[in-house]
Chain A
Amino acid sequence: MAETTFESTPDLLLDHDRVEQGDLQTEELLVNMGPQHPSTHGVLRIVLRTDGEMVLEAEPHIGYLHRCAEKIGESVQPYQYIPYTDRMDYIAGMNNNQAFAIAIERLCGVEVPERAKRIRVIMAELNRIASHLVALGTYGLDMGAFTPFTWCFREREMILDLFEAACGARLTYSYITVGGVHDDLPDGWVERCEEFLDFFEPKIVDYNNLLSFNHIFVKRTATVGVITAEDALAFGLTGAALRATGVRWDLRKVTPYDGYEDYDFDIPIGQDGGIDGVPRGVVTGDCWSRYYVRILEMTQSVRIMRQALKRLEEGPIEAKKVKGIKLPADEVYVEIENPRGQLGFYVQGDGSAIPARVKARGPSFCNLAITSHTCRDILLADVPAIIGSLDVVLGEVDR
């Protein structure tokens, strides 16, 4: 037969002297998980050092989707750059548009009209729901449950229908632009959106019954990949991953933007099991908490949207004289609450219409950095559970 050797590639930088000598000497195996792997949510490559089913060490390797989006930002005007922000986190395009738009508005001092702010909030929360639906569905897939995926995507399709009606695109919207939003809402959109919210809210109970409180699912995710609040902050985790550790922290409350201070909503956090309907065995900061925080955030998003739809008034949707605006020789760093965490844009102007430097701080990028810290001495099946619960989008990790 063909003799093959499985030698590790030299660039892995994993130490090999942990093989213990004994009667039952076991072989450690280096396994490539990805870049083509069903549960790495894109082109993530994780090198696992395994001993049987135990994963001793996991080292993520990223960059397979690197498109140098920051370099592109230095060659185009801000309103031309909006479509590129869609391509970063392609699951939550609206929120990315919003972050970059706010960054440019803060830099140039553009005042956004009231109606545009309301529409932005509606779109951002809709996209938060859509993004969380993808996260829940694919997390079900990671756990081997196929049905939640199609159920979540069924509702996501309706959100995409709404987006398509508003802006004509279903994935890369470029709807929220510098100074406002690109188009006004079509006739009947608000009613349709309310109809969707009425339809969607009871569906969350369905997801809970099917997946969240499923005994096997809880056993698979509870106490797996526990991250403490201190670790989470040290590694720069934000968003649901940070809230699951018990820190009630959300930029929409802390540093409100686009009028989030007007709305009444709660910040769900992860908590230990046994109370408030959280199953026994759940520990603050484990995979189940991260998953369930997203479920709870969807209900809060529905709440915000109902208020925003009620307060939507006629008016202009875009600030005047935004296209071709000269960026002052100044710099700004703006973070907003993306579905995945805090999405930041650092923009530096130099007096021309084109930014001198655009830097995106992707929440997925920072959240993924904790992988090698968390994926230690766990089972192979826990690796997809942890990666999936961090909910990374590789388009944004690699940018």
Chain B
Amino acid sequence: MIPEDICNLIKARFPDAIEATVLDAARPYVQIKAESLVEVATFLRDDPSLRFNLLRSISSIDLLADNKLACAYDMMHVPTENRGDLLTTTRSFALRVVTDRDDPVIPSLAGVWRAADWHEREAFDLMGIRFSDHPDLRRILCPDDWVGHPLRKDYEFPLEYHGIPATTEYGLTNPRH
């Protein structure tokens, strides 16, 4: 099933959800509205012709030029009906949700795919996107008292953390290093 068909399916079901479509790229995706994310995701997971049951990744993206943050969702279909047979047919799809950079809130998909739990915590930790209705939204990689979100483009690396120097002299003079 090619991405256009999937996009049309979504369009037919949720006419207002789609903000933009990028379908002829190396990684075709559909940009949808944050508020309809959960319904679209549930539809993608449960629709018998789609059944994207494996959430591969949630990549948070900083669109500094547009003053936006984005989340890219990659999903895949793993056929489980004929378990044990060699599976060679698959389909994959991607979604994107763009949110405001100053108050970034995206509904959580942890209720749709449980794999989203840790991916969203990671996006929260490193990019500062808050996922509403997430069961346990905490920092996952950085310490709980870390200041800032490292993957943002305008992030300034702290010079020390609890008295531990976090950069070298060279790093002080060459901040991009």
Which A residues form the contact surface with B (CB < 8 A)? 11, 13, 62-63, 66, 68, 70-71, 74-75, 106-107, 229-230, 233-236, 238, 242, 246-249, 253-255, 267, 269, 271, 330-333, 335, 342, 344, 346, 348, 357, 359, 361, 365-366, 368-369, 373, 398-399
Which residues of B23-56 have CB atoms within 8 Å of chain A's CB atoms? 25-27, 53-56
Task: Tally chain B residues at the interface, Cβ within 8 Å.
Answer: 46
Name the residue on B nearest A267 (C-beta): B86
Name the residue on A nearest B60 (C-beta): A359
Name the residue on B nearest A331 (C-beta): B27
Chain A contact residues, majority secondary structure: mixed
Q: Which residues from A are CB-within-8-Å of B20?
A: none
Identify 25 residue pairs between A and B in the complex whose beta-carbon atoms are under 8 Å apart, listed by A's number: A63-B140, A66-B142, A68-B150, A71-B150, A71-B151, A75-B176, A233-B53, A233-B78, A234-B115, A248-B84, A248-B85, A254-B88, A271-B84, A330-B26, A332-B27, A333-B72, A344-B56, A348-B61, A357-B59, A357-B61, A359-B60, A361-B56, A361-B74, A369-B115, A369-B117
Q: Which residues from A are CB-within-8-Å of B119?
A: 366
Does any Cβ of A come within 8 Å of B162's Cβ? Answer: no
Does any Cβ of A come within 8 Å of B57's Cβ? Answer: yes
> Is there an interface contact between B115 and A235, defined as CB atoms closer than 8 Å?
yes
One of A13, A229, A333, A399 near B27 (C-beta < 8 A): A333
B123 → chain A, closest Cβ, in Å? Answer: 10
Q: Which residues from A are CB-within-8-Å of B115?
A: 234-236, 366, 369
> Is there an interface contact between A331 and B25, defined as CB atoms closer than 8 Å?
yes
> Is there an interface contact between A254 and B90, defined as CB atoms closer than 8 Å?
yes
A246 to B114, CA, bound (A): 20
Which residues of B76-94 have CB atoms within 8 Å of chain A's CB atoms? 78, 80, 83-88, 90, 94
A399 to B140, CA, bound (A): 12
Does any Cβ of A come within 8 Å of B105's Cβ? Answer: no
> Is there an interface contact between A335 and B54, defined as CB atoms closer than 8 Å?
no
